[in-house]
Amino acid sequence: MRHHIAHAVRGRLRVRYPVPWLRTRYDDIESRLRSVPGVREVHGSKVTGSLRIDYDPFRLAEQSLVDTLEEMDTHLAGGRRLPTRAPKIVPRRTPPLVNVIGATSILAAAWLPAPPAITGALVLACSLPSLLRAAGALRRRRLNGDVLEAATLLLLAARRHYGAAALLTWLRTIGEYVVANTVVSARRSLRDVIAPPDATILRVEGDATRAVPVAALRVGDVVVVAAGQRLAVDGTVTRGEALVNQQTMTGEALPVERREGDAVFAATTVEYGEIAVRVDRVGLDTAVGRIVRTIEAAADEKSDIQAFAERLADRDVGRTLALAALGAVVARRVDAGTAILVSDYGMAARVGIPTAILTSIRRAFRHDILIKGPRVLENLARVDTVVFDKTGTLTVGSPLVTRIARYGAFSEDEILRFVAAAERPFHHPVARAVTRLAAERGLELPEAATTERVGLGVDVRIEGAHVLIGSRRFMETHEIVLRASAADEAAAHSVGASPLYVAVGGRLAAILVLQDQLRDDAPQAVQALRARQMRNVILLSGDHAEPTRVIAESLGLRHHYADLLPEDKARLIAELKAEGRVVAMVGDGVNDALALEEADVGIAVPGGAEVATEAADVVLLRGGLDRVVQALDLARESIQGVRRTLGIAARANLAVVGLASFGLARPVGSILLSHGTTVAAAIVNTARGDRPAPVKRPARRRA
């Protein structure tokens, strides 16, 4: 078997392949999976060997998908075509609101004066789902919470406590509804990242425009977006000019000018001007929508703490049954034993824990922090080591030309004209820095002939002159003498800058000193992480040692590593995890994808590359590095909420057992005290979702 399952939640499967194997077979695998009924989307990365499959869990069973993957491994390895296989169909479930209405009606009927036979039949009919679940568990020879609940319901019905039985079923149904409603609210908040459900936009129809719902847009439509409005589509500008705040997608702190032919993205905002945009992608097909779809698929997964609590509750079923029998004997009342039966942790595990966690995820959405599921939130709360990439994460990622050192007859402007003309066809940060400076000086750029980018430099002819632009190694391969620049090169490295060499006619003409700028909020973010008792904050970089050292020292980071390839970053993360650390990796680029995948929690900063946001577990849509700290605080507060819920359940259950031991407990009061308090705590947690995210400023401490 070539693949292994890296992550599986209801509605989403992530598998890993050996990178060389997947690279040559990716198109075949993607095509085959998209043809499977029930598969919604397939996203993969040939760089990381990761493949994510989003599917409809109501139409397609996970095991059927796993079987299909195993067949693909076999047939692709042997070069044979795959047979068509019908997927297993998953039955649909009754909507929670319908269950609530039914359970509420039965609860009301149970307290009305009616013949006992009718009331008993109604209560048992309402309890039928619980009884069927218990029968299934017993067939598998398992004692779990379903068996305990069914035993309690049958005992209550046998004792003709129909009101108590209906109340127990009603509270469970209310709990399920609260969880389902929390999931829906989280998804609704997530969809609002793209566009609010009631949002409208002006669509061009002939010579006029008409306001239409965003949901009505189709690929090829043309929409008009004015100042102050948020784009709801990915598209191409067809006319007009505007300043667009694209921080959510590109990480640029300042608005950028967009004009005819430029691409624009959903979840960005027009700050000045007006543009007409041809719709290229809408809804969940947009760049930000693909992130949303990934998170939606993970919304139903169970956190590890919930799974553990459910297992613990199931293991205690036998003990609870024995304690109920003992309580009935000691108190000499069957009702005392019945009261003890309801004192379990199943309701806390099924209702209290998921609502606390999903509410925190929803709060994070509202602050443009996209957390991909409950398990990610739980891991985030346990993080004790944070690793930062340097370029584009702790630094702006857009270097500036801080100095031009000349060694010949050419003036600064002449040197700048040559370099800007040579770099104009390219779009990397150095090219943008040089062309931006030339534009600021108002220089007219000559035409560059036979531009060729070779390795670490550019070989070009400009105005008849042979111009070389690039690194020291590039110059040395062309036998350019660099002795004159030794002092300037050393001075540049001492402040963390990088020299760009320029040679004209086979002789060194100048060096341009380029320096990346530290983010304004980087020192505060590092200080805040230290104050949160992190074991370590580490800096990784693919850049040279000297610039990395300067950035690390300016932030007070003792542990920093330079000259790292992408696989070196991932290996270092693995070593930290092997030491027992829970590691969060914060990055933005393609070269960070492997490390983001390897970390316990990968965090992609605003404007990260698409492969980085796909590999990350947490995606920051906007804001600075303070969002990293805020995400950690939200996660820790969520786990505190879970502990509060479990504490409430424990105290309530202890009170029920204590009252029952003295013969003071009655079924209705015990159900309200045990299950009622848990459901109430879940409702309170849900209401907390509308509060602002925490902004803590703890006292300063040393790392």
Same domain for 509 and 525? no
pTM: 0.63
Range of the domain at 563: 369-396+519-634
Reported as a single tens digit per residue, the pLDDT across 624-640 is 888 899 999 989 988 88
> Is residue 553 in a domain?
yes
Encoded tokens for 154: 């049958």
pLDDT given at position 190 = 59
- What's the number of domains the chain is made of? 4
Alpha helices (H) along 449-565? 472-477, 486-494, 522-531, 545-555
Same domain for 463 and 604? no
CB 646 within 8 A of CB 677: no
CATH number at residue 36: 3.30.70.100
Which candidate, 266, 288, 292, places its Cα nearest to that of 277? 266
pLDDT given at position 247 = 60
Tell which of 573, 605, 634 closes a domain: 634
Same domain for 574 and 476? no
The yes-or-no answer on residue 56 being catalytic is: no
CB 143 within 8 A of CB 317: yes
Reported as a single tens digit per residue, the pLDDT across 420-445 is 998 887 766 778 889 889 999 999 88
CATH number at residue 376: 3.40.50.1000
Encoded tokens for 39: 């598969």
Same domain for 479 and 443? yes
Same domain for 494 and 564? no
Tell which of 582, 605, 634 closes a domain: 634
Mean pLDDT by 10 residues, the chain (703 residues): 67 78 79 81 75 76 78 66 39 61 82 81 82 84 80 83 84 81 66 69 88 87 88 89 72 68 84 88 78 61 69 74 79 77 74 81 82 86 92 79 91 92 78 88 83 67 89 86 91 83 93 86 91 91 80 89 84 92 85 82 76 75 85 89 83 81 77 83 72 49 40
> Is residue 351 in a domain?
no
pLDDT given at position 92 = 44
> Is residue 323 in a domain?
no
Strands (E), 283-428: 369-371, 385-389, 400-406
> Is residue 584 in a domain?
yes
Encoded tokens for 404: 């031009």
> Is residue 314 in a domain?
no
pLDDT given at position 192 = 65
> Is residue 137 in a domain?
no
Same domain for 472 and 542? no
User: Catalytic one among 389, 459, 543, 592?
Assistant: 389
> Is residue 122 in a domain?
no
Same domain for 450 and 554? no
Encoded tokens for 593: 């994808």
Same domain for 496 and 593? no
Reported as a single tens digit per residue, the pLDDT across 326-371 is 877 877 778 777 777 777 767 777 787 888 888 888 888 878 888 8
> Is residue 184 in a domain?
no
Reported as a single tens digit per residue, the pLDDT across 163-185 is 888 888 888 888 878 877 776 66
3-state secondary structure of 210: strand
Q: What's the rounded Cα separation, in Å, for the pair 529 and 385?
A: 9
Same domain for 582 and 487? no
Which H or E run contains 434?
Answer: helix 429-440
User: What b-and-e string marks burial along 152-166, b requiring 16 or more CB atoms within 10 Å of the CB?
Assistant: bbbbbbeeebbbbbb
Same domain for 387 and 525? yes
Same domain for 480 and 433? yes
Tell which of 582, 604, 634 closes a domain: 634
pLDDT given at position 79 = 47
Q: What's the rounded Cα separation, in Å, for the pair 690 and 590?
A: 35
Same domain for 525 and 504? no
Alpha helices (H) along 12-95? 19-34, 62-78
